[in-house]
Amino acid sequence: MPRSRSDLLKLLVKFVLLGFVCYFMTAWFFLRKREIPAFLPAFHSTKSIKNLFLYDGISLFQNKSCSCQNMKDMKGMQVYQLQDNFSPDEIKFVQERRMMELSHFQSRYVSKYQNILLAVPDCPLSYPIHGVKVMPLHTVLIPVTLKLGSHEVQFPVVIQQPSIAKLYDPGADKKISSVVTICTKTFLRYHKLRILIKSIRQYYPSITIIVADDSETPENVQEPNVEQYFMPFGKGWFAGRNLAVSQVTTKYFLWIDDDFLFNEKTKIEKMVDVLEKTNLDVVGGGVNGNFFSFKLLLEEGGEDGDCLHWRSGSYHPLEGFPNCVVTGGVVNFFLAHTEKVRSVGFDPKHQRVAHTEFFIDGLGTLLVGSCRDVSVSHQKKGKPSDPKAADMQKTYDTFRTERQDQVRHKLALLYFKNHLKCFTRT
């Protein structure tokens, strides 16, 4: 006699229950035979977890605040509490303006917590599958939500114009002069500048040289393929850099000081090869055998600002180039992508002594490297034999010496513009 539908359903349920019983019995049997470890690993304390993320003595674990302190194992460390560069009467108003500008900045640029796509499966736990960002070497708390009794679907949509390409033609001959422009800034030291140009022409006869000049009594440097741009007297170091780079029409520019000297190891082609085959934006070389480079480590803080740490050295080797490393900043001899550096710029408020400040502004935007197989020489120091040149050099030295009020001005800029609480340097 055929069974009814309800009988078949009951039989099916019995088989399912029997299957569950067999599964749990089998699992229980094998678990009993498995060896139980004599002890279980202890949970790490918050302090021990944070110690796992120390780099050069700096905690890169995500914190709600940060601080700059002298480290006993790092001799000669300089610690700057940037707030100290303001008087007690003005600091409150400076902080209010800084908070207002920070809020405006954050509203214009995407936060690391925006556009996070969460996966919401048929369980209470949701987790991010796209949109979480973390700085190199750092940690980040992953946002997770827990919901019951509801389902949620998210479709993140970004409405924007696509970026249009901006290409530089290397020319049919692909000469180095079609790809690279040399830039420098001069102030009074024409005797040094002419020696530099002469050394460049020994190795690169036709390459364009751009000179930004803010001397009080300018001298015309009439040389083939040399473009000289005059500025108001004493306009400043970074303003001159901006002017020079603004006139570049090639894919790359090479930055040098006006008292450098090209030699047989000044191979611009090697630097071009590095930028062409990697994702670096800037690559530096050496000066007089000194291959100076440094790391910039940003420790995120709270409303009172972040902490920035300057350390000599590099992060790691550059893949494919055994003589090169990835770093945070280099000397004043570097080849760079013109467009990328223009997007960062050189703050004209730095008029006299500044260098690291450019790489601080470019932190997170510029990828920087340094190579040991390319270098320039430095012209000999000393009083020039020509009386006119000697007078100019003497005047130059008075501008070149950094005063204490200028140091405070630079530190105050770090506090406000870069939203930094403190800065350490070793």
- Domain total in the chain: 1
Burial 212-248 (b: 16+ CB within 10 A, else e): bbbbeeeeebebebbbbeebeeebbbbbbbbbbbeeb
Say if CB 347 and CB 302 are below 8 A apart: no
Distance of CA 232 to the CA centre of its chain: 31
Q: Where are the beta strands (DSSP E) in 107-166?
A: 117-119, 125-130, 145-146
The secondary structure of residue 290, as a DSSP letter, is B
372 assigned to some structural domain: yes
38 assigned to some structural domain: no
- Whichever domain contains 374, its CATH number is 3.90.550.10
DSSP string, 82-115: GGGGS-HHHHHHHHHHHHHHHHHHHHHS--TTSS
The yes-or-no verdict on residue 368 having pLDDT over 80 is yes
How many CB atoms neighbour CB 422 within 10 A? 25
Please state, in angstroms and rounded to a whole number, the distance separating the CA atoms of residues 262 and 197: 9
Rounded (10°) angle between helices 190-203 and 387-400: 100
9 assigned to some structural domain: no
pLDDT digits (tens, 9 = 90+) for 197-234: 999 999 999 999 999 999 999 999 999 999 999 999 98
Residue 348 Cα distances to 2, 67, 401, angstroms = 94, 29, 18
- Helix runs in 218-349, H state only: 237-246, 268-277, 338-344
Domain that holds residue 334: 176-379+393-425
299 assigned to some structural domain: yes
pLDDT digits (tens, 9 = 90+) for 258-307: 999 999 999 999 999 999 999 999 999 999 988 889 999 998 888 899 99
Bigger pLDDT: 180 or 61?
180
Please state, in angstroms and rounded to a whole number, the distance separating the CA atoms of residues 406 and 352: 8
Q: In the prediction, which pLDDT does 426 show?
A: 84
| Closest among 206, 212, 203 to 270, alpha carbons compared | 203
335 assigned to some structural domain: yes
235 assigned to some structural domain: yes
pLDDT digits (tens, 9 = 90+) for 301-351: 888 999 999 999 999 999 999 999 999 999 999 999 999 999 999 999 998
Rounded (10°) angle between helices 88-108 and 404-416: 40
pLDDT digits (tens, 9 = 90+) for 87-113: 988 998 999 999 999 888 888 775 544
Q: In the prediction, which pLDDT does 17 show?
A: 65
Residue 218, both tokens = 């300018």
